[in-house]
Chains A and B, each alone.
Chain A
Amino acid sequence: MKIQIDSEVCQGHGRCYDLAPSLFGDDDEGYGQVLRTGLVPPGEEQSARLAVANCPERAIELIEET
């Protein structure tokens, strides 16, 4: 599973880095950033989904890998 933020859509609400601080961080203007490569380590799928579901701008994309 991979996560990715559309920086055109993100407005820096920070719900992602509040809810899933091991997957998301912020830049120096408060916009959300995917940590490392965006690959979700096993066991963290649930918090990735929580962040996606709570982003008010629907800026986070979750790519399920088959």
Chain B
Amino acid sequence: MAADERFARDFREARGEEPEGTRNEIVTGPVSDWAADFSHTEPEWAADPYPIQDDLRQRCPIAHTERFGGGWLPTRYADVAAIAYDTERFSSRSIIMSNFRPPRDVAPIGGSPPISSDPPFHRDARKLLLPAFTKTAVARQEPATRALCHSLIDAFDGQVVVDAARDYAQHIPMRVIADMLGFPPADGPQFRQFVENTLEGINLPPDERIARMSALFDYLLAQIHDHIDNPREDLTTFLINAELYGRKLEPSHVAGTMALLLIAGIDTTWSAIGASLWHLARVPADRERLVADPALLPAALEEFLRAYAPVTMARLVKQDMQWHGADMKADDWILLSFPAANRDPAQFDRAAEVVIDRQVNRHAAFGLGIHRCVGSHLARMELRVALDVWLSRIPAFTLADPSAVTWSTGQIRGPRALPLRLG
């Protein structure tokens, strides 16, 4: 097969050494007032953001910060929904609230379609991915996922205390997405590094961020070359061959979407599985009920997604405007907190409680509107299988040391150390 010319040169050369865009001064340190100086990167937020969000929803439902070059934090369901739906006034050109804003001309495509894309391009980039992620399509991954969960528990090998985040939750989405993209399973630990670098290092100096980002794209490019030489039935080969508007995809689109699937697929699901196990370790009544009645699992899983929604997104304001009383400026960030929306008492009865048999649960953990998580059916399958296998093998467990539990910082929230005592 002839070499694919698109990937003969490193596509990043066209972008120049330093990406264009604007950087602002990096501000860290304790928050003085959450209504006027919020930051999702401080330890207080990572440890427990819900009281902060509940307080803001009552006294200042669209909070502001000067950090990250300026941004807003809506905490009501209605405002979060309105912004998610309003792609005319809020752009997805960057969806990670950091100290760097990509140049305006990256819209409507952005660095990692479709999550970074705006209409009209968004729809077409998304359409490419949808068939591979339907409920029926992801069901094919279920037997392997179940076998993996069993083998992870086999490997606990009689230990009394295990780290359920590191030794269980983490491995499940890592292996599933590696299989779907056609990457060697043994590369798992490397992906973990990429994911952490992207999502958790947002306050590092630009040089370091660029170096870290480059390592990810070096890896992806090597995988692309390997797939061009040895095409196979997986998402990488699919993206290399996919066409949009009668042409093969731009190299940066192929690599950007691969990066998105790798990054969006792992941290998020790892967090959802971990937070669910954390809840069950602390609330024996819920755990016992689920063990006794596994048919409750689908409803319980939606409730865990509502109460511990792992994903917060960002938007950039397109033009200066007054929006629901806020004096927004072009290029201000919106920290789009689906977790805060999911705990709004105006939308949910007993919003602050975890009700595992909640019947009406119109939560927004997978987003609202055109960017609805493409991986939601896959994530739900992984979460269901992970909890089902765990509860059938390990019906009794508690937190081994509550003070040893740590949570990720940034826009994806979940336990990163979760020592559990089994039995």
Contacts and interface: CB of A to CB of B under 8 A. Distances in A.
Contacts of B361: 54
A30 B135 contact: yes
B87 interface: no
Interface string B359-384: 11111101011101000110010000
A14 B135 contact: yes
A13 B372 CA distance: 7
A14 B360 CA distance: 15
A1 interface: no
B370 A54 contact: no
B359 A12 contact: no
A5 to B, nearest CB: 15
A56 B377 contact: no
B130 interface: yes
Contact of B134 (A13, A28, A54, A56): A28
A17 B370 CA distance: 19
B206 interface: no
A17 B376 CA distance: 14
B130 A56 contact: no
A18 B298 contact: yes
B127 interface: yes
Contacts of B380: 18
A28 B136 CA distance: 9
A29 B366 contact: no
A53 interface: yes
B131 interface: yes
Categorize the interface residue count of chain B: 20 to 34
Given A17-B135, A54-B361, A54-B362, A29 B130 contact: yes
Interface residues of A, number: 17
A50 interface: yes
Interface in A1-36: 11-14, 17-18, 26, 28-30
Interface in A29-66: 29-30, 50, 53-58
B135 A56 contact: no
A50 B298 CA distance: 14
A30 B360 contact: no
- Chain A binding surface SS class: loop
A50 B127 CA distance: 28
B93 to A, nearest CB: 21
B133 interface: yes
A29 B368 contact: no
Contacts of B362: 53-56, 58
A18 B297 CA distance: 13
Nearest to A28: B131
Interface in B282-322: 298
Nearest to A17: B135
Contacts of B127: 29
B372 A11 contact: yes
A14 B364 CA distance: 13
B372 A54 contact: no
B368 A57 contact: yes
Given A18-B298, A30-B134, A56 B364 contact: yes
Interface string B130-167: 11011110000000000000000000000000000000
Contacts of A12: 130, 372
A8 B363 CA distance: 20
Given A12-B372, A14-B376, A18-B298, A26 B134 contact: yes
Interface in B97-146: 127, 130-131, 133-136
Q: Which 10 A-B pairs have the closest CB atoms?
A: A29-B130, A11-B372, A30-B134, A53-B360, A56-B362, A28-B131, A30-B130, A14-B135, A54-B362, A13-B372
Interface of B: 127, 130-131, 133-136, 298, 359-364, 366, 368-370, 372, 376-377, 380
5 contacts: A12-B372, A13-B372, A54-B360, A56-B366, A56-B372
Interface of A: 11-14, 17-18, 26, 28-30, 50, 53-58
Given A13-B372, A18-B135, A54-B361, 13 more contacts: A11-B370, A12-B130, A13-B376, A14-B135, A18-B298, A26-B136, A28-B134, A30-B134, A54-B362, A56-B364, A56-B372, A57-B368, A58-B362
